[in-house]
A and B are shown apart, each in its own frame.
Chain A
Amino acid sequence: MKTEYKIISDIIDKNSRVLDVGCDDGALMEYLKQNKDVDIRGIEISKEKVQTCISKGLTVLEGNAELDLKQFPNKSFDYVVLGQTLQAFVNPEIVIKELLRVGKKAIVTIPNFGHWKVRLNLLFKGTMPVTKALPNEWYNTPNIHMCTIKDFFKFSETIDFKIFKSLALINNNVSNINNSNLLTKNLFSELGIFLIEKSNEN
């Protein structure tokens, strides 16, 4: 997913303070450190992955984003990144609110459940979709709150945050999503990438 890293990196300003929530093995953190010279921290639930991050010289906390974002003061980071994990939380709404409290801006990427392959899978097979991007069966998937790009737009209105930038990733090509092309992008994008901010602040 190098393209995803590049897109995220392009959004982030040089020398900013970044928190990577669910930083996995720290690959994005390393990429951002190299390319944007950021002061970056990670939070990761898996002990093994935290240890991998430490072995790469990254500053990472073992923790659960749903419980452990609390400890960070308001706006303590310029950007908080949440890469393809929103759908795995018990309460995505609380997580998004916490991201927007802790970070001045947040970058959220979501695997798009509205992608045509997913839709066809359900339509013709009649079973929960299993695709390359979503390889798990319904009973063992960590993704308990899947959503589509369109859902994310609706979500922004419901819990009141501003989407500054929305990008679609289709076969490693990046394009903008806007109101006029939303339906097509929702059908063809594998991944949605959003730069968001709290609504009542600038």
Chain B
Amino acid sequence: MDNLNNIKTILIEKPLKLDCGKTINNFPLAYETYGSLNEKKDNAILVCHALTGDQFVTGINPVTKKDGWWSYAVGPNKSIDTNKYFVICANVIGGCMGSFGPSHINPETQKIYGTDFPVITINDIVNAQVNLLDYFGIKKLFSVVGGSMGGMQVLQFVSNFPEKAKTAVPIACTSSHSAQNIAFNELGRQAITADHNWSDGKYSSNKTVPDKGLAVARMAAHITYLSKKGLQEKFGRKLQERDALKFGFDADFQIESYLRYQGSVFVDRFDANSYLYITRAMDYFDLVKQFDGNLSDAFKNSKVKFFVISFTSDWLYPTQENKDIVIALNAVGADVGFVEIDTDKGHDSFLLNVPDFLKTLKNFLDKSYIE
């Protein structure tokens, strides 16, 4: 995380009142763009990233040197066609890729914020991001698109700013974070805070970090992003570089080795405190409650054209939770399409090469753009 020179940021001077009651101002928001904004400024798509994503949507991420998290979907001639559209993505506040987050230095103490950083919400994240529209002089986005926590931001965005988007594509998400999902997030947070190196969040990112705890959090979460069938087909009971069980606790099975690898690469690119803050923002997300139990009120009189997408094997944000969004939209006569994509790839389907999904997303965007 040292290589932060390639990061573009805007400084948000305007005070932002957070849901927790605190106000922040003069804070950085890191972003990246792809494609070019046309003269009419009507071809912009705001992409919202998920829990462990960042602003480097596609191409090679200059910090991690790996492919961007949505390389399958975003790029020239892809679903979100950067020959046609101007794609903007911001690192969420609370994150660790340049936006204001818990690894920043608190000017009052000259130490990292750690857990002194204010608890942020999806609403706060969205309210920070909207500043990018002003920065680029965009009155109305052509679309706001995102999966998982990105989908929650999509819903919050169109609820907060119904006039600022022509279309919206929430993917594999929910309007109200479920008990099961809060439970999984809590498991991850407990793994981090139980790591001795976490030191009440006061670790410094260049010394000892709670990498064991963060790796376990990632491993547990990673399981929830896949499906039982997908795991069984990919790994089954295959052994890892050995012919027989070793009667010990090394990684005998390929799935164990795979998870350990996923955990180890994650700690190199992600900050443990950011993981705490962002999972908390997801847990606090309840658009239904924000509108006193009636989700439809979040979209009342909305002129936005919605397209909701879910995946058959996603048990983390199952189809029914996505359908609840569709039902709420139909109840107020909103323009909403919906499809459930058939795939074994679980919640992660939106990030992977799932041709039906990629094609459908492209068709929706390209057809809506010429309307």
Contact = CB atoms under 8 A, between A and B. Distances in A.
A63 B359 contact: no
A62 interface: yes
A64 B367 CA distance: 25
A145 interface: no
Interface in B355-371: 356, 359-360, 363-364, 367-368, 370-371
B326 A61 contact: yes
A21 to B, nearest CB: 13
Interface residues of A, number: 19
Given A59-B335, A61-B338, A73-B331, A51 B356 contact: yes
Given A47-B340, A61-B337, A56 B367 contact: yes
Interface of B: 305, 307, 326-327, 330-331, 333, 335-342, 356, 359-360, 363-364, 367-368, 370-371
Contact of A71 (B307, B327, B356, B368): B327
12 contacts: A51-B356, A53-B337, A54-B337, A55-B363, A55-B367, A57-B363, A57-B371, A59-B337, A60-B339, A61-B336, A71-B326, A72-B330
Nearest to B340: A62
A76 interface: yes
A54 B342 contact: no
A71 to B, nearest CB: 4
Contacts of A50: 337-339
Contacts of B360: 51, 54-55
B363 A54 contact: yes
Interface string A59-97: 111110000000111001000000000000000000000
A53 B368 CA distance: 13
A164 B8 CA distance: 65
Interface of A: 41, 47, 50-51, 53-63, 71-73, 76
B339 A59 contact: no
B339 A54 contact: yes
Contacts of B307: 54
A62 B367 contact: no
B308 to A, nearest CB: 9
A123 B181 CA distance: 61
Given A51-B359, A51-B360, A54-B360, A63 B333 contact: no
Given A55-B363, A59-B335, 8 more contacts: A47-B342, A47-B356, A54-B337, A59-B337, A62-B340, A71-B327, A72-B331, A76-B333
A54 B364 contact: yes
Nearest to B338: A61
B339 A51 contact: yes
A61 B340 CA distance: 9
A47 B335 contact: no
Contacts of A54: 307, 337, 339, 360, 363-364, 367
Nearest to B357: A51
A23 to B, nearest CB: 11
Contacts of A76: 330, 333
B187 to A, nearest CB: 33
A60 B337 contact: yes
A112 B229 CA distance: 45
Contacts of B333: 73, 76
A51 B307 CA distance: 12
B339 A57 contact: no
Contacts of A60: 337-339
A71 B307 CA distance: 16
A57 B338 contact: no
Given A47-B339, A47-B341, A57 B367 contact: yes
B349 to A, nearest CB: 14
Nearest to A58: B337
Nearest to B326: A61
A63 B338 contact: yes
Given A47-B341, A54-B307, A54-B363, A59 B336 contact: yes
A157 B335 CA distance: 35
